[in-house]
Amino acid sequence: MTDINRQITLNSRPDGWVVPDNLSLVEGKIPEITAGEILVRNLFMSVDPYMRARMNDVKSYMPPFQIGKVLEAGVVGEVIASQNSEFNLGDIVVGMLGWEDFSKSDGSGLVTVTRGPLPLSYYLGILGMPGMTAYAGLVDIARAQPGEVVFVSAASGAVGSVVGQLGKIIGCEVVGCAGSDDKVDYLVNDLGFDRAFNYKTCGSIAKKIAELCPRGIDVNFENVGGEIMEAALWNMRDFGRIALCGMIADYNNKDMTPGPRGMGVIIQRRLKIQGFIVFDNPASNREFVQKAVTWLQQGKLSYRETIIEGLENAPAAFIGMLKGENFGKQIVKIA
Amino acid sequence: MTDINRQITLNSRPDGWVVPDNLSLVEGKIPEITAGEILVRNLFMSVDPYMRARMNDVKSYMPPFQIGKVLEAGVVGEVIASQNSEFNLGDIVVGMLGWEDFSKSDGSGLVTVTRGPLPLSYYLGILGMPGMTAYAGLVDIARAQPGEVVFVSAASGAVGSVVGQLGKIIGCEVVGCAGSDDKVDYLVNDLGFDRAFNYKTCGSIAKKIAELCPRGIDVNFENVGGEIMEAALWNMRDFGRIALCGMIADYNNKDMTPGPRGMGVIIQRRLKIQGFIVFDNPASNREFVQKAVTWLQQGKLSYRETIIEGLENAPAAFIGMLKGENFGKQIVKIA
């Protein structure tokens, strides 16, 4: 085993869209561990939209990434050295670790999962934060009910694809949008969405939603913000709920973008807009993972990943994901 | 008794701000009633911000006013003829009737109130829709808790003045803004607000709120929208609630105005924005009126009206109210 530990660090803060030069590949040594610590060989890492927000120097629910420091990601790894009695050699752990070959940790925030019939990378997607986020937003926040109309933006993404399928399991009518015809086909033919459209080619998004949701929308699971959120807002029914999960359309804007026009409908139709993050309700997360393992094995949940090989390709995977180039959950295979 | 019935009708739809020519004073005959109907001599009418929205040709929770037709308002009146067994001569009724000397009605939507120690005009203000709106938003929608920080815009208005006082009764810290130094004094010295400021002269509203609410805002009772709502949003604490009651700043804009900038904080701080209208929860309204009568008599609630005399002055009262010229609830005394 080589003693080199490759790492991806933040070279400079992006000014608008992330460019390759904002990230650096550096080589260090494998960290040494002391009492209470473990050494993890990282197997898979996740790239996600929220990371873009952490590249700005703005305080949020997670601290901003620091220039010159290794970036963080959701990681699945194997414990290869342990001075912590809660972790044994060979344990598979999931949690926030570095964009790097090897991470050391005191174990806080890491959970141990068992190797089973499902791929370990699933713990970064449908069995990880994206899947839990979908469940928290649709079930806990929006309280989607059987027979209601659910609209999901970024519907083929890691979160959206689970939202739509959960909606069908609940008994909702599910409509989604995505950024290519292939993705739209995937939503309807593979994931069981009732209807879907390509927001890049449909013309007026608001009119398209009105056409596909003639009764209006009861629950909007909002991943995108901007024009898509505005169009969904205008199509909400009385007492509708918007679970606000992401506003990826804004993350790359240097200036603060204004909110949707016509917010008076929030009053007229007595709408509720609620922001949430996945860490707020651990009980809900556990409940979801338990159910999802069963649903996956029964074929009630379908899941798609795009896996790119090699830590050195993580920056390209991240930039591509921000531009919507991935199909399903974007994963980087490190080892 | 003369048989003339003066009426204020919608002459033309306003293009931006309401101008006197949008409204007409016309003279008709006192309506004749038939079986099931009553004739009401209107004593007081209310002018309120929501009326501006009804002057646009837009479907909402109430239908738009029609050109050439008499406008509607909250009215207190006396039954002077009745062919309806539920109403007797001399009964005092409150409900939606016309901007006119005499209205006929089949009684639907009217409630009978008793003459007591409090002025009848109170049923158009603190004991009417504005008071009920304050209670519904603060208690049912935002669920303000003791010790929390409540921020109210348009705080000296018919709704805002009740919100602030209810906040103090609940045990909250209450901060408000209004459009003149006199109104600010009134908030702090007469209504018991903890702190207040003049949004027209304070410079950055967001910085002023941050200065007066150093812990941030738990509950924003939002009456105004626009720049004030944006400033409040930026100062919300984690898990804060915005009860969205009105967006008066937008009602006179011809174009749809964009929402607040920086709506990403809704996610980061897990905020909830909920629109509501006063008709949604009649049980809450009844509960409030019962409590408010007691609070008023005990001096725990203070109330201020501006009463203008004469139906012919209702248009000026309405236009002045939209510009913030009134102090407390604007009432028109008809008879």
Asked if the C-beta of B29 comes within 8 angstroms of chain A's C-beta atoms, the answer is: no
Instruction: Please give the backbone phi and psi of residue B324, each rounded to the nearest 5 degrees, phi first.
Output: 80, 20
Which position has the higher pLDDT, A237 or B58? Answer: A237
Condensed to tens digits (0 to 9), the pLDDT of residues B232-255 reads: 999 999 999 999 998 876 666 666
Cα→Cα distances A316→A57, A103, A174, Å: 22, 21, 32
Q: How far is A174 from chain B (nearest CA, A)?
A: 23
Distance CA A93, CA A242 (A): 34
Strands B272-275, B236-244: pairing kind: parallel
**How distant is the Cα of B177 from the closest Cα of chain A, in angstroms?**
21
pTM of the predicted structure, to 2 decimals: 0.86
Assess contact for B270 and A280: CB atoms under 8 A.
yes
**Tens digits of per-residue pLDDT, B118-167?**
999 999 999 998 999 999 999 999 999 999 999 999 999 889 999 999 99
CATH class in words for A129-279: alpha beta
Q: Spell out the residues 6+ positions from residue A71 whose beta carbon is closer than 8 angstroms to its own.
A: A8, A9, A10, A23, A51, A65, A98, A99
- The answer to whether A275 and B266 are in contact (CB under 8 A) is yes
A49 part of contact set with chain B, CB < 8 Å: no
- Is A246 an 8 Å CB contact of chain B? yes
* Mean pLDDT along residues A50-77: 91
Q: Do B258 and A258 touch (CB under 8 A)?
A: yes
Question: What is residue B255's predicted lDDT score, i.e. its pLDDT?
Answer: 66
Chains A & B: contacts with CB separation below 8 Å? 97
Residues of chain B positioned with their CB less than 8 A from the CB of A257: 261
Cα separation, A201 vs A67, in Å, equals 38
Query: Which region, left, alpha or beta, applies to residue A299 given φ > 0 means left and ψ of -120 to 50 means alpha?
Result: left
**Which tokens sit at B298?**
């005990």
Q: Which residue does chain A place closest to B244, by CA atoms?
A: A267
What CATH number should be reported for the domain whose range is B4-125+303-333?
A: 3.90.180.10
Q: Check if A268 contacts B (Cβ < 8 Å).
A: yes
Contact across the interface for A275 and B257, Cβ inside 8 Å: no
B227 with B209: CB under 8 angstroms? Answer: no
User: In 3D, which of B333, B327, B320 has the Cα closest to residue B18?
Assistant: B320
- If contacts are CB pairs under 8 Å, which of residues 159-198 in chain B contact chain A? none
- Residues A215 and A226: their CA atoms lie apart, in Å, by 23
**Contact at 8 Å (CB) between A136 and A41?**
no
Residue A1 has pLDDT above 60, yes or no: no
As a whole number, mean pLDDT of residues B84-90 equals 97
Q: Could you tell me which chain B residue has the CA closest to the CA of A274? A: B272
For residue A88, how many other CB atoms are within 10 A of its CB? Answer: 11
Residue-wise pLDDT for A160-212, tens only, equals: 999 999 999 999 999 999 999 999 999 999 999 999 999 999 999 999 999 99
Check if B8 contacts A (Cβ < 8 Å): no
**Is the CB of residue B60 less than 8 Å away from at least one CB of chain A?**
yes
**Between A61, A247, A269, which is nearest B275 by CB?**
A269
Identify the bridge partners of residue B274 per DSSP, sorted by sequence position: A272, B243
A20 in Cβ contact with A316 (< 8 Å) = yes
| Mean pLDDT for the stretch of residues B43-68 | 90
Instruction: Give the domain ranges of chain B.
Output: 4-125+303-333, 129-279
3-state secondary structure of A261: strand
Q: Do B225 and A250 touch (CB under 8 A)?
A: no
How far is the CA of A292 from the CAs of A47, A126, B133, B218, in angstroms? 21, 8, 43, 35
Q: What does the angle CA B28 – CA B34 – CA B37 come to, to the nearest 5 degrees?
A: 90
Longest alpha-carbon distance in chain A:
65
Distance from CA of A57 to the nearest CA of B (A): 14
ipTM: 0.85
Query: What average pLDDT is seen over chain B?
Result: 94
Selecting from B246, B258, B269 the residue whose C-beta is nearest the C-beta of A259 gives B258
Please tell me if residue B254 touches chain A, with a CB cutoff of 8 Å. no
Interchain proximity B264–A280, CB inside 8 Å = no
B17: contact with A, CB 8 A cutoff? no
Closest alpha carbon within chain B to A280? B270
Of A60, A271, A272, the CB nearest to B268: A60
How distant is the Cα of A190 from the closest Cα of chain B, in angstroms?
Answer: 30
| Cα–Cα distance measured from residue A328 to residue A157, given in angstroms and rounded to the nearest whole number | 5
- CA B92 to CA B87: how far, in whole Å? 9
The tens digit of pLDDT for each residue in A274-310 reads 999 998 988 999 999 999 999 999 999 999 899 999 9
Domain A4-125+304-333 class, CATH top level: alpha beta
